[in-house]
A and B are shown apart, each in its own frame.
Chain A
């Protein structure tokens, strides 16, 4: 079945540091890939997505490239801010799984000033 594996947290960085959160997936079909962000006390918000191989999703300085050969969708940001502190979820959806989103376990990110 489909699955998503994220690097375990928590991750703590200083402001302006470079961020990478690893995400790899297993899917039987050709999935679409998503990164969602959850700020404290809120619901999940879409951060970015990519729907086919080699696509790059980007938003708010975050980027992730859909790598079919390595089945990965790593999240990166060049210079993090305190306001980026949140929990980040990698997820996939494909036709085999109908419309279901399969989530990774989430990575808690804390940015210190």
Chain B
């Protein structure tokens, strides 16, 4: 299996620009998660989807962030406009099943730098 695929792996942009991060979950997985990792705040859950439906977006920092999952094999996280404080590594993860015992599988991450 290919695992969770994220693109781009690295993104450098200027403040005010729109940034779109992409994720392809593992085939057959029905839950998808977006996380952000920074030195100051560690790993934060931004939003997660079950069966393509957003379930909890309480971790989304503000209206500049939005996430979509138009189908079971694709999700995007968009930042518009971007700010330097958005610089972080963004991870996508997926899992199958509904139980808390199921393992989340992480992608390699997108390292975002906003200048």
> Are B42 and A94 in touch, CB under 8 angstroms?
no
Interface residue tally of chain B, by bracket?
Answer: 20 to 34
A12 within 8 A of B: no
Contacts of A44 on B, CB cut-off 8 Å? 91, 93, 106
Which of B4, B33, B101, B103 has most chain A Cβ within 10 Å?
Answer: B101
The prevalent SS among residues of B at the interface is strand
Partner of B43, one of A95, A98, A103: A103
Cβ contacts A8-28/B at 8 Å (1 or 0 each) = 000000000000000000000
> Are A43 and B100 in touch, CB under 8 angstroms?
no
Contacts of A45 on B, CB cut-off 8 Å? 106
Interface residues of A (CB under 8 A from B): 31-32, 34, 36, 42-46, 49, 51, 89, 93-95, 97-101, 103, 105-106
